[in-house]
């Protein structure tokens, strides 16, 4: 069964190879795509599931079938120590695709000297199981970003 993964933010898609972090650029945690976000907004859950990991700058939602999706809000934003990020949920909570998870401001991330790019990564799979949108395309938060094929 295919799993539709929604974009957590609105913006323009960017290939993972363009992310200024080798862990993401080399797809070491998994394949996916990044989004260069537009404006301050809530980052949304990409799939229905449980928040297995939750930090101010990143979260993982695991679907009922065990497939996990990582959303990372900016690059090196862990160094911001939560400043500028507001959590709407708690770790272990069930979420619905499109539900707000974290409020943040990409412009504040840039002002702090970090990249606002948001990698959205399918965990523990190879890239041949994903049907990914083309890089450089506009995307609206809550709409399909890629499909995870079985």
Catalytic site residue 72?
Answer: yes
- Of 36, 55, 57, 72, which residue is the catalytic one? 72
CA–CA gap between residue 1 and residue 149 (Å, rounded): 7
CA–CA gap between residue 63 and residue 1 (Å, rounded): 12
CA dihedral over 48, 86, 71, 135, signed as positive or negative: positive
CA–CA gap between residue 49 and residue 75 (Å, rounded): 24
User: 121 CB contacts (<8 Å, ≥6 apart)?
Assistant: 16, 24, 27, 29, 30, 31, 32, 69, 70, 72
Smallest CA-to-CA distance from 49 within 35, 69, 29 is with: 69
Sheet holding 3-6, edge to edge: 3-6, 144-148, 130-132
Please answer whether residues 146 and 128 qualify as being in contact, where contact means their C-beta atoms are separated by less than 8 angstroms: no
Active site residues: 72
């Amino acid at each position: 069964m295919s799993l539709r993964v929604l974009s957590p933010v609105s913006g323009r898609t960017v290939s993972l190879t363009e992310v200024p972090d080798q862990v993401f650029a080399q797809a070491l945690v998994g394949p996916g795509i990044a989004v260069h976000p537009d404006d301050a907004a809530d980052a949304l859950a990409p799939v229905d599931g449980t928040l297995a990991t939750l930090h101010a700058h990143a979260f993982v939602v695991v679907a009922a079938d065990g497939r996990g999706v990582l959303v990372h809000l900016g690059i090196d934003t862990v160094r911001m120590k939560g400043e500028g990020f507001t959590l709407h949920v708690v770790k272990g909570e069930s979420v619905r695709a499109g539900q707000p998870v974290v409020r943040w401001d990409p412009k504040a991330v840039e002002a702090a000297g970090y990249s606002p790019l948001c990698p959205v990564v399918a965990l523990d799979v190879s890239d041949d199981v994903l049907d990914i949108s083309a890089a450089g395309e506009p995307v609206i938060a809550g709409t399909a970003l890629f499909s995870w094929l079985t």
